[in-house]
Amino acid sequence: MSFDSDLDVLFVEGDAPDLSSKKNEVLAQLDRDGIHHDVYDDIADTFQTGRGHFRVHPVYLLQLMDALAALFPEASFDARGLGEEFRMSWIAEYRNGKRVFTQGPWDYE
């Protein structure tokens, strides 16, 4: 099982939203998911640079992007998660706070 993942994020229209404005909500989401708060810093870095490295499963990153999109419905963005295994990759597009397109992750053994 893969727990080293990279995440690419491209904001389609405008700059990255102010993640700090929703920090409490993001931390609450991480708490619900049982994920360490260090992931918040990884998200912040990714929003600023466009690419980040995470110590979580790539499928969790897809779920986390769904939650973040709902918190920032004004932010249109595309995201790509890359796990250690080639089939543990995905792409997704978010508009108006919802995922509108997804490919992957693909089944694997």
Q: What are 63-104's pLDDT values in tens digits?
A: 999 999 999 999 999 999 999 888 889 999 999 999 999 999
Give, in order, the Cα–Cα distances in Å from 89 to each of 3, 20, 50, 55, 72.
12, 28, 17, 15, 24
Predicted confidence at residue 72, as pLDDT, reads 97
Encode pLDDT of 6-57 as tens digits.
Answer: 999 999 988 899 999 999 999 999 999 999 999 999 999 999 999 999 999 9
Query: Domain containing 81: what range?
Result: 5-103
Does residue 108 belong to any structural domain of this protein? Answer: no
42 located within any domain:
yes
According to the model, what pLDDT value does residue 108 have? 56
Q: How many domains does the chain have?
A: 1
The backbone torsions φ and ψ at residue 56, rounded to the nearest 5 degrees and listed phi first, read -140, 165
Q: Is 68 within 8 Å of 9 (Cβ atoms)?
A: no
Residue 44 resides in a domain? yes
Q: Which residues partner with 95 through β-bridges?
A: 98
- 88, two tokens: 């543990």
pLDDT score, position 87: 84
Is residue 15, in this structure, part of any structural domain at all?
yes
In a domain, 23, yes or no: yes
